[in-house]
Amino acid sequence: MRRRDFIALLSWVVAEWPLAVRAQQSNLPVIGYLSGGEANERVPLTLAFKEGLGELGLVEGRNVAIEYRWAEGNYDRLPALAADLVNRHVTVLTAADAPAAQAAKTATRTIPIAFQTGADALQSGLVKSLDHPEANLTGINEIAGPLAAKRIGLLRELLPDAKKFGFLVNPSNANAALDEMTAEGAARQLGLQIEPIKASREAELISNLSDRPPGQIDGLVVNSDLFLTAHRELILSFCERKSLPAIYPFREYAAAGGLMSYGVSLPTIYRQLGRYTAELLKGAKPQDLPVAQPTKFDFVVNLKAATSQRIAFPPGLIAIADEVIE
C-alpha cells in the first residue's frame, strides 16, 4: 500500500470507528455495504458513496450505521459475506460492484438492494427492465463491457500500424467472456488481432505480463475489473518498463502515470450509488427508481507518460481529449 493511501485509510478508520460503535448502541438503521474489492484500495470511492448519502441528509454514525464487508478480490467469498449481512437484518444492501450485486441478489429477495455494476444489468440477469426494475433491486449500470471497443479504437488511432493488441482481463469476472468477445469483434473490424492476457491473482498477473516477449504485442487494452484496478501500479510499472502503449478503463490509471484512459468517472458513479441507497433507506421502492446509466465518458491523455515512453500523440487525438495531463 502506498504511504498516502495508508494514511488516508488510517485517518478514515480512526474517525469512523467511534461513530460506528455509537451507532450500534443507538439502534440506527443499518446499510450493509458489500464489495468484491479491498477496503484500503477503495477508500476514495467509499468516501464518494458517503458524500452521496450526505446529499440526502444521511451521515454515518449520526442517523445511519454502515456494516462493511470486503471480499478483497476473492469473489467466491461474496455469497457468505452477503448472507452474513442479510442475517444481521440490515435495512438496505449496497452492492458496490458487479460480483457483489450478483451475490446480494442471490442472498435476499426482500431487503432493498442498490447496486453498481459494470456488466450489462439486463444481460447478466440482475434486472429485467431498466426503467422499472422488478423485485428488490435498482442501481447504477455503467455498462463497462462495450467500452472495450472504444478503447481499442482510440489505441489504434495512436498506433495506426499496430497488428496485435493484448487484452488484459480477469477470468474470474462474470463478464470476462463477453468482454473478450466485444474486444475481438472490435479488433476484427479494424484489422487487428487480440491476444487475451488472463490473471485473477497477483502472482499470475506478474507472470503473464512478464512472459510477453518484446514486440509480441503492439499495445495493451486493460479491461474494467476490481482486481486489475487494485493492481494498477503493477500494470503501470510493467507498461512503463516495456515502453508499451496502453489504454486503461478509468482516470485513476492516467492520474497515476498511465498513458491514457477512457471510461466513466468512478467517484461520480459512487456518489450516485450513495444517493440511491439513501432513497431506498428513506422508503422509496426499487421499481420506482429506474436503473441509471452514465451519459458522459472521459478520455484522458497523459503527455508526461507519453514523453517518458517516447510516444508521440497525434494532434487530432489530443484535440478530442476531455483532459490532458502535462
Q: What is the pLDDT of residues 85-114, one digit of tens each?
A: 999 999 999 999 999 999 999 999 999 999
**Is the pLDDT confidence value at 22 over 50?**
no
**Is the pLDDT confidence value at 19 over 50?**
no
Contacts of 143 (CB under 8 A, 6+ apart): 118, 119, 120, 121, 293, 294
Q: Is the dihedral of CA 271, 277, 279, 281 positive or negative?
A: negative
Residues 220 and 247 in one domain: yes
pLDDT recorded at residue 214: 63
Mean pLDDT along residues 113-124: 90
Residues 280 and 230 in one domain: no
Contacts of 320 (CB under 8 A, 6+ apart): 299
**Is the pLDDT confidence value at 6 over 60?**
no
Q: What is the pLDDT of residues 167-203, one digit of tens each?
A: 999 998 878 888 899 999 999 999 999 999 999 999 9
Instruction: Provide the residue range defining the domain that includes 271.
Output: 3-143+265-288
Contacts of 276 (CB under 8 A, 6+ apart): 52, 114, 138, 139, 140, 289, 292
pTM of the model as a whole: 0.83
- Between 253 and 25, name the one with better pLDDT: 253
Residues 250 and 237 in one domain: yes
pLDDT recorded at residue 295: 84
Residues 185 and 269 in one domain: no
Contacts of 112 (CB under 8 A, 6+ apart): 91, 92, 93, 136, 137, 280, 285, 286
Residues 273 and 314 in one domain: no
Residues 194 and 306 in one domain: yes
Residues 49 and 153 in one domain: no
**Is the pLDDT confidence value at 117 over 60?**
yes
pLDDT recorded at residue 9: 52
| Whole-number Å distance between alpha carbons of 78 and 99 | 8
Residues 273 and 259 in one domain: no
| Whole-number Å distance between alpha carbons of 91 and 299 | 38
Structurally, the chain folds into a number of domains equal to: 2
pLDDT band (50, 70, 90) for residue 30: very high
Mean of the per-residue pLDDT values for the chain? 90
In the block, cell 486493460 appears at 222
**Is the pLDDT confidence value at 14 over 50?**
no
Residues 256 and 109 in one domain: no
pLDDT recorded at residue 26: 60
pLDDT recorded at residue 153: 96
Mean pLDDT along residues 7-25: 48
Mean pLDDT along residues 261-265: 94
Single-letter amino acid code for the residue at 127: V
- CATH assignment at residue 131: 3.40.50.2300
Residues 155 and 121 in one domain: no
**Beta bridge partners of residue 166, listed in sequence order:** 195, 220
Residues 190 and 48 in one domain: no
Closest CA to 104 of 80, 124, 121, 70: 80
pLDDT recorded at residue 213: 66
Bridge-based pairing state of the strands 298-302 and 260-263: antiparallel
CA angle 99, 282, 95 (to 5 degrees): 5
Q: What is the pLDDT of residues 210-248, one digit of tens each?
A: 877 667 899 999 999 889 998 999 999 999 999 999 999
**Is the pLDDT confidence value at 25 over 50?**
no
- Return the percentage of the chain with pLDDT > 70, whole number: 91
Residues 77 and 162 in one domain: no
pLDDT recorded at residue 143: 77
Q: In what order do the strands lie in the sheet with 113-117?
A: 65-70, 30-35, 92-95, 113-117, 137-141
| 3-state SS assignment for residue 98 | helix
